[in-house]
Amino acid sequence: MTSAILEIEELTKAYAGSGRRALDRVSLCVWPGELVVVLGPNGSGKSTLLRCAVRLVDPDDGAIRVAGQDLARLGGAELRQARRSVAMIFQQAHLIRRRTALANVATGALGRHHDLATALGWLPRAELLEAGRLLDRLGLLHLAHKRADTLSGGEAQRVAIARGLAQRPRVLLADEPVASLDPQAAEDVLRLLDQLARQEQLAVVCVLHQPELAVRYAHRLVGMRDGRLVFDVPATAADPSRIAGLYRAEAA
């Protein structure tokens, strides 16, 4: 078996003043081609896990190894370079509103280019062409010249995924990507994540709040509660009562 592309080891984080650990020695390995869905109630540490993994939040302890390189130990230019292999999408698409879908996708490639070549909002022609190809592959080419703030929620989220792909990542993290989408758009986004895992051999980690969607799309299910990982099972072996137990008021 090939080795894991993302190895999270004993990751620990306590937010200042909260007095409890948002993440308590969480370990998780993800292999290329896998769609791992993380479930858990509010405050269980799911989002913190993903935010720590890209260093939007700095963990207190532990390691985040991507292709063997530990992001927790990096800073400055080294961190920026390492971040390029991890794409992240959020609950909101967070596109730049006044630019076209095409330009937004191309900004995903900025990390590969020098400051001078991209000053004043310039985007390299080659990256715009690449962005067009990505949009085409996702069936979104008709949106290329539409401004980001005119896209529907589902369209914007898929454009945000295309921006992530423009990074040429090996890992794709998704923090509640369908929480503000209607059911049809949510299915479209999850189908796309599943397809990217299978066809592009991406390692996908997706936080969800809908157990029924999780069971249908996940290859592996991870349950979190109170900052700890409570189960990590293949989706085919998922036990509905254990999933329901995550959300019960008293500790499972």
Partner 1 sequence: MSAAATVDEASSPSPASELLPRPTRESVLLRLALGLAGAALLGQASVVARVRPQDLLSGASGMADIVRRSVPPDVQHLQPALGGVLETFDIALLGTSMALVLSLPLAVLAAENVTPSRALYAIARGVIAVTRAVPDLVWALLFVTAVGLGPFPGVLALVVHSVGMLGRLFAETIEDIDMGPVNALRVTGASPIQIVSHAIVPGLLPSLIGIGLYRLDENVRSSLVLGFVGAGGIGFLILTAMNLFQYRQVATLLILTYLLVIGVERASAVVRGRLR
Which residues of the shown chain bind partner 1 in the complex (CB under 8 A)? 54, 56, 77, 80-84, 86-88, 90, 92, 94-99, 107-108, 110-111, 115, 118-121, 160, 163-164, 166-167
**Minimal distance, residue 120 CB to partner 1, in Å:** 6
**Minimal distance, residue 171 CB to partner 1, in Å:** 11
For residue 212 the two structure tokens come to 């029924």
**Minimal distance, residue 88 CB to partner 1, in Å:** 5
**Minimal distance, residue 144 CB to partner 1, in Å:** 18
SS3 102: helix
Decide whether 109 or 185 has the Cβ nearer to partner 1: 109
DSSP 187: H
Decide whether 88 or 238 has the Cβ nearer to partner 1: 88
State how far the Cα of 168 lies from the Cα of 68, in Å rounded to an integer.
17
Decide whether 23 or 88 has the Cβ nearer to partner 1: 88
**Minimal distance, residue 178 CB to partner 1, in Å:** 17
State how far the Cα of 22 lies from the Cα of 41, in Å rounded to an integer.
12
**Minimal distance, residue 196 CB to partner 1, in Å:** 16
Measuring CA to CA, which residue among 86, 92, 121, 88 is closest to residue 104? 121
Query: How far, CA to CA in Å, does 68 sit from each of 72, 86, 105?
Result: 12, 13, 28
Q: Which residues have C-beta within 8 Å of that of residue 225, sequence separation ≥ 6?
A: 40, 41, 44, 246, 251, 252
Measuring CA to CA, which residue among 46, 42, 3, 7 is closest to residue 174? 46
Q: Which helix (H) or strand (E) holds 242?
A: helix 240-246
Decide whether 44 or 107 has the Cβ nearer to partner 1: 107
Decide whether 166 or 206 has the Cβ nearer to partner 1: 166
**Minimal distance, residue 218 CB to partner 1, in Å:** 23
DSSP 123: -
Which residues pair with residue 6 across a beta bridge?
30, 66
State how far the Cα of 195 lies from the Cα of 80, in Å rounded to an integer.
27
Decide whether 62 or 169 has the Cβ nearer to partner 1: 169
Decide whether 68 or 121 has the Cβ nearer to partner 1: 121
Measuring CA to CA, which residue among 119, 95, 75, 86 is closest to residue 6? 86
